[in-house]
Amino acid sequence: MNSNVVTLSINGKEVSGRDDETILELALENGIQIPRLCYLEGLSIVGACRLCMVEVLGAKGLIAACATRITEGMVVQTDSERLAEYRRSILEMLFAEGFHVCSVCVANGHCELQTQAAHAGIDHIDLPYLYPRRKVDASHRLFGLDANRCILCTRCVRVCSEIEGARTWSVSGRGIEAHIISDFATPWGESTTCTSCGKCVQVCPTGALFMKGASTAELEKRTDFLSWITAMREQR
Amino acid sequence: MLSDELKRITGHELEERQPLKHRLHVCMGTGCISAGSDRVKTALETELRVMNLDGTYAVTTGGCRGLCAAGPLVAIDGDTNIAQRVTTENVPELVQRMTDLPDSLRLPTEMPFFRNQKKVVLEYSGNLDPNRIDDYITAGGYTALNHALTEMTPAQTVDEIMRSGLRGRGGAGYPTGLKWQTVAKAHGERKFVICNGDEGDPGAFMDRSVMEDYPFKVLEGVTIAGYAIGAQQGYLYVRAEYPLAVKRLKSAIRQAEKIGLLGSNIGGTPFSFNIDVRLGAGAFVCGEETALIASIEGKRGHPRPRPPYPAARGLWGCPTLINNVETFSSIAPIIRQGADWFAGIGTEKSKGTKVFALSGRVNYTGLIEVPMGTTLREIVFEIGGGIPDGRQFKAIQTGGPSGGCIPAEFLDTPVDYESLAALGSIMGSGGMIVMDDTSCMVDVARYFMEFCKTESCGKCAPCRIGTAQMHDLLTIITAGQATLEDLERLEKLCDMVRSTSLCGLGQSAPNPVISTLRYFRHEYVSHIVDHHCPAGVCSALSQPQEAAE
């Protein structure tokens, strides 16, 4: 498909890009960071975490930067007091939704939720904790799933279906009851589709998916393999 | 030719009716069936057979007449002679005094409930047998399709809808003609038409009734849309909780196919169009267009960010037109009677009529259709007959879980898209719940939030967690355990969820809270500060302050 080059402004800075790029992609190219959790380069866009909401001049409401393509003359503001407050609020809600106790988590220090919270200046949670009763699945030989740390970004679902092609993970249930399942809600260890490739563990932004044997704060995750795979596929 | 075929069917049908002295339409809508109308119909047939009258009297399945409160209804020959609350016991009396009904049976059809309505979508007001295409054709059905196919180009058809000023009846009120034009102009070899029959608001049953009573009219509207935008395939997305509507629509599709009103070369023209039914599996969010499309594609019914809008990339990536059942049912009358006629009804910006499901604390509950611009007062106190048991009107809830509560001081507001939005509610799909002074507004807000919490799909964080948090806060307010800080927290959450949610469900979920806070803030404060529920609904606080002390 042909694409045109367009010029627009992000945070007052004039930038240009192809019109098939999203606001988030162009911002990152130009060294402008926008908070995000469900977005991961190389995976499809879902626009679910709503952290990357930005203000666009003339738009009816806020716009998800990851899911919106740039247009000529667009005036984008990625930071404002209002946006900062909404982002803090969404992050607080994510903390209050599950059990996020950093001090005993394998991902402590390498957790994207923790990093975003630190950036947003969150030092306490104002909302009541929901204390859900969620399961831990340790049936897999190499990996584990602690659903209490899951923020439903669905990166694991997407990487498994789009990159590995196994489609082991999917979402079950609605609303606050929604959760990740492997196969037809069978234990991960008994999954007949899982190839044990571990991509889901690597892309998980929190400690929800983890490698067995890793202790508190030991689990560093790598997501850079995704861009290599995507690049190789596009070349072919 | 199509028009000859329609004339032939009409002629045949009228010939069949020739020897009949009277036709009895027994309402077979879901409301009347639950009141026993199916048993009444059998009893009527038996009675007529016993009295040897079955050759001159016909008992037919009729549609809903709106006044569900007085069902089962049996109409004799038309709209003026109707028997109400018919049971198997009073069937003999009904047959004996058919043309001169006793007062105990006679429905006063001159009452404002009937007099003040204007029927466009419900134009045959229950006088058609929804199971027979011949009945619909005899009443003038399919002349609109014939007219469009033989005398109008697709562009002229779009223009006609555009000029009529019709706006989407699903709730948001997007101009229908503009939507049609966008899809008609979109590039794509394949295009689709989808009829959204996933009605799910609590207290709303307009679309159910339209699909049950006028399935052919829905098909005709969808087919005309297919012609106008250049689609070959249409889908009716109907929730599985409406089995009667599904049954009648499926039967209607078969009958229309049989006489060439669906399928290849409709009426001998080059236009080919098919319609299939798809069932919703009970998720409210599938009424949202992108989630609905995902559901038809066989995926989990999750919304996705827009743009791209379905008009550009919809079902299987093709340009797709999605309109609501009521919108499609307005199409045939517009083509038949012209855009100017339709644009002459209603207000400057909201044209035509709107069907409402009137329920709650009002004397006459049921289905009504009024011109846009009718005031809420007329609807509640004239058509609805006022509040029962001498109680006080408190508020009217419009737009279901996406709408708001409008208090008594705004009763003279005309019903149109802009006026209701200005009051912090929405037109919505047409649910209207009347509340009197026995309703606690905090409890009402809690009820709708519980609905949104249960129906949130869970995809985006603000809606998934926000509705749960707001529901918890409303629950502790109704339990008298909240503080004023909690109220502040609730208001902040409302603003955040409204501004950041992915789809319409989340963006409008705070509306019932925001609107009750706007007009009934004192009730919230009373629950929190005085630990008192003014309406006496919240059981934890039902004792008045003085008595408790």
User: What is the tens place of the pLDDT at every residue in B66-122?
Assistant: 898 888 999 998 888 999 999 999 899 988 888 888 888 999 888 899 989 999 999
Per the CB < 8 Å rule, is B468 touching A127?
no
Q: What is the mean pLDDT of residues B487-513?
A: 96
In this model, does residue B548 exceed pLDDT 60? no
Task: Calculate what percentage of chain B has a pLDDT beyond 90.
Answer: 81
Per the CB < 8 Å rule, is A178 touching B464?
yes
Q: What sign has the CA pseudo-torsion B542, B543, B544, B548? A: negative
B310 upstream amide cis, omega within 30 of 0: no
Q: Return the residue matching tokens 């290849």.
A: B264
Please give the structure tokens belonging to residue A99.
């059990």
User: What is the tens place of the pLDDT at every residue in B353-366?
Assistant: 999 999 999 999 99
In this model, does residue B547 exceed pLDDT 60? no
The beta-strand segments (E) located in B372-489 are 393-398, 404-407, 431-436
How high is the pLDDT of residue A1? Answer: 55
Per the CB < 8 Å rule, is B493 touching A89?
yes
User: What is the tens place of the pLDDT at every residue in B128-179?
Assistant: 999 999 999 999 999 999 999 999 999 999 999 999 999 999 888 999 999 9
Smallest CA-to-CA distance from B124 within B37, B64, B54 is with: B64
Contact B264, B256 (CB under 8 A): no
Pick the CATH number of B353-436 from 3.60.20.10, 3.30.1330.20, 3.10.20.600, 3.30.420.40: 3.10.20.600
Residue ranges covered by each domain of chain B: 2-111, 141-343, 353-436, 441-546
B305 touching chain A per CB within 8 A: yes
How high is the pLDDT of residue B109? Answer: 87
CATH 3.90.650.10 fits B2-111, yes or no: no
Which residues in chain A have Cβ-Cβ distances shorter than 8 Å to B501?
50
CATH number listed for the domain at residues B141-343: 3.40.50.11540
Tell me the pTM.
0.94
3 state DSSP class of A64? strand
Contact B79, B109 (CB under 8 A): yes
Per the CB < 8 Å rule, is A47 touching B460?
yes
Pairing of strands B82-83, B74-76: antiparallel
How high is the pLDDT of residue B459? Answer: 97
- Confidence bin at B1 (pLDDT 50/70/90): low
Q: Searching chain B, which residue's CA lies closest to the CA of residue A175?
A: B458
Please give the structure tokens belonging to residue B179.
């939507």
3 state DSSP class of B265? coil
- Confidence bin at B543 (pLDDT 50/70/90): low
3 state DSSP class of A158? helix
Per the CB < 8 Å rule, is B500 touching A47?
no
How high is the pLDDT of residue B151? Answer: 95
Mean pLDDT per 10-residue segment, chain A (236 residues): 87 95 96 96 95 95 95 96 97 96 92 96 92 92 96 97 96 95 96 96 96 86 86 77
- In angstroms, the CA A80 to CA A77 distance is 7
For the domain made up of B441-546, give the CATH fold. Answer: de novo design (two linked rop proteins) (1.20.1440)
Which residues in chain B have Cβ-Cβ distances shorter than 8 Å to A45?
305
Contact B212, B244 (CB under 8 A): yes
**Identity of the residue in B465, B469, B496 whose CB atom sits nearest the CB atom of A86:** B496
- Confidence bin at B549 (pLDDT 50/70/90): very low
Q: What is the mean pLDDT of residues B309-334?
A: 96
- In angstroms, the CA B302 to CA B381 distance is 41
In this model, does residue B230 exceed pLDDT 50? yes
Q: Searching chain B, which residue's CA lies closest to the CA of residue A46?
A: B304
Task: Delineate the domains of chain A, giving CATH numbers in brackets.
Answer: 5-79 (3.10.20.740), 97-235 (3.30.70.20)
Per the CB < 8 Å rule, is B305 touching A53?
no
